[in-house]
Amino acid sequence: MSYVDEIYERVVKQNPAQPEFHQAVKEVLDSLRVVIEANEDVYRREALLERLTTPERQVLFRVPWVDDKGQVQVNNAMRIQFNSAIGPYKGGLRLHPSVNLGIIKFLGFEQIFKNSLTGLPIGGGKGGSDFDPKGKSDREVMAFCQSFMTELSKYVSTDTDVPAGDIGTGAREIGYMYGQYKRLTTKYEGVLTGKGLSYGGSLARTEATGYGLLYLTDEMLKCNGVDIKGKTVAVSGSGNVAIYAIEKAQQLGANPVTCSDSTGWVYDPEGIDVALLKEVKEVKRARLTEYAAQRPSAQYHDKASEGTNQWEIKVDIALPCATQNELNIDDAKKLVANGVIAVCEGANMPTTADATEFFQASKVLFVPGKAANAGGVATSALEMSQNSERLSWTFEEVDAKLKDIMVNIYHNIDDASKKYGMEGNYVAGANIAGFLKVADAMMAQGIV
């Protein structure tokens, strides 16, 4: 059996009931075959793939906190410190009731290659909890975040592990966590990114993932002879990534016509009103029904009663920006039948494996999340740099660096796909380019 197949079997056996982790490992290993086979003897002797697919450290802990009724609540939490070959662990914290070990391990594993692709010195990690911030008072969210950080603070620091936001973790949660870290350690240091601008955050970090997604999409389309101007775009999600993807798409002259949340989706043929969307989601923390109520051109669709989603709308570009496996083979068939040109992932692994293959077989330009959404973590690394030198850069400076990074990522994955004989396969290009740097650093550092 090939080394790649052996390792995949080993991962499935050693990590039972973690389907998302298996899926992420399979996608990466499958596209690394040509590289692994060329170096199989050395990699096998060094157990490189065994080490790459096994987290360096996994911290599992409970988070007790008191709700507004005086009842003690207990959540499960974790931080997976996956790989520090090229820098301190870096990656977000997800707060969502669906969080479990397999999901955080898939996210941590993806983060290794994504962070490598940014070209910046950051290793891969991810964390989170099954705590649901939705419907909680600010005091309850603070109580959770303080208790969470009381335990997490033992395992993180500016040079060890630097967490950030992800689903359910935005500026409010990062603020509460940062305050507690400072109180516990007496250190005013950049241990978290995505901080508020008044206490060490970077300009453009809020916008970075969505803007970065569009910078890469624009560059990829240009290099394939397509102008983004005038193209219609379907976006899913209505959180941090989706909002700023929609904003930048409009700035580039495209027309984003959909967004969604966990209960429904909106079709707004005149184009999403970003100011209204920000008001509904960032300020009021309300549902998309509120957006539709205030926007005459918008049609609201309830997911549960209709069984529909935004992928049935005829568009040129699809940008899934909500969560994993939200775009399946039936959705992919609809998008292709409607003539989609490009699919670029704003979320982490939003496209199922069979849908990804279908897009590639249908000659749709497909860029995986580890390349397309790397602008968020890249700008987090720029926030770390600013914190280290105790300076803040202007919005324009950070945005220009972000754009450069995204353009470079596109060319790196495109070059890698060509070099290994898989031109246009950006999944293989991203996995190979991300892997080579990490593998090289792991080999150089010996058996650790």
Rounded Cα–Cα distance for residues 171 and 165 (Å): 8
Closest to ligand NDP by CB, 4 vs 317, is 317
H helix or E strand, kind and range, residue 326: none
Distances (CA, A) of 421 to 58, 302, 342, 386, 414: 37, 44, 21, 40, 11
Residue 260 binding ligand 2IT, by CB under 6 A: no
Residue 166 binding ligand NDP, by CB under 6 A: yes
CB-CB neighbours of 304 under 10 Å: 8
Partner whose binding site includes residue 217, from ligand NDP, ligand 2IT, none (CB under 5 to 8 Å by kind): none
Residue with tokens 């039936």: 330
Distances (CA, A) of 398 to 193, 206, 393, 395, 408: 14, 12, 7, 5, 15
The correct pick among 376, 384, 405, 413 for binding ligand 2IT (CB under 6 A) is: 376
Partner whose binding site includes residue 351, from ligand 2IT, ligand NDP, none (CB under 5 to 8 Å by kind): none
Residue 321 binding ligand NDP, by CB under 6 A: yes
CB-CB neighbours of 198 under 10 Å: 7
Q: For residue 91, give the nearest of 65, 53, 123, 119 by alpha carbon.
A: 123
Q: For residue 115, give the nearest of 420, 391, 374 by alpha carbon.
A: 374
Angle formed by the axes of helices 101-117 and 375-389, nearest 10°:
70
Rounded Cα–Cα distance for residues 430 and 122 (Å): 16
For residue 127 the two structure tokens come to: 């964390």
Under rule CB under 6 A, how many of the chain's residues touch ligand 2IT? 11
Handedness of CA 37, 324, 162, 130 (dihedral sign): negative
Residue 108 binding ligand 2IT, by CB under 6 A: no
Partner whose binding site includes residue 90, from ligand 2IT, ligand NDP, none (CB under 5 to 8 Å by kind): ligand 2IT
Rounded Cα–Cα distance for residues 212 and 402 (Å): 7
CB 42 within 8 A of CB 111: no
Q: Considering only residues 141-160, where is the footprint of ligand 2IT by CB under 6 A?
A: none
For residue 369 the two structure tokens come to: 């999340």
User: Maximum Cα–Cα distance for the chain, whole Å?
Assistant: 64
Closest to ligand 2IT by CB, 264 vs 369, is 369
The distance of closest approach from Cβ of residue 201 to ligand 2IT in the complex, given in angstroms and rounded to an integer, is 12
**227-246 mask for ligand NDP (x: CB under 6 A)?**
----------xxxxxx----
Partner whose binding site includes residue 193, from ligand NDP, ligand 2IT, none (CB under 5 to 8 Å by kind): ligand 2IT
Residue 434 binding ligand 2IT, by CB under 6 A: no
Q: Considering only residues 45-104, where is the footprint of ligand 2IT by CB under 6 A?
A: 90-92
Rounded Cα–Cα distance for residues 191 and 195 (Å): 10
Residue with tokens 């999409």: 217
For residue 233 the two structure tokens come to: 């775009």
User: Annotated catalytic residue: which of 126, 195, 248, 403?
Assistant: 126
Which residue of this chain has its Cβ atom nearest to ligand NDP in the complex?
A: 239
The correct pick among 88, 128, 168, 368 for binding ligand NDP (CB under 6 A) is: 168
Q: For residue 202, give the nearest of 348, 390, 347, 374 by alpha carbon.
A: 390
The distance of closest approach from Cβ of residue 117 to ligand 2IT in the complex, given in angstroms and rounded to an integer, is 11
Residue 153 binding ligand NDP, by CB under 6 A: no
The distance of closest approach from Cβ of residue 108 to ligand NDP in the complex, given in angstroms and rounded to an integer, is 11
Residue 413 binding ligand 2IT, by CB under 6 A: no
134 is catalytic: no
Partner whose binding site includes residue 239, from ligand 2IT, ligand NDP, none (CB under 5 to 8 Å by kind): ligand NDP
Residue 347 binding ligand NDP, by CB under 6 A: yes
The correct pick among 75, 153, 193, 351 for binding ligand 2IT (CB under 6 A) is: 193
The distance of closest approach from Cβ of residue 21 to ligand 2IT in the complex, given in angstroms and rounded to an integer, is 15
Contact residues for ligand 2IT, defined by CB under 6 A: 90-92, 114, 164, 166, 193, 348, 376-377, 380
Binding site for ligand NDP (CB under 6 A): 96, 98, 165-168, 209, 237-242, 261-263, 321-323, 346-348, 373, 376
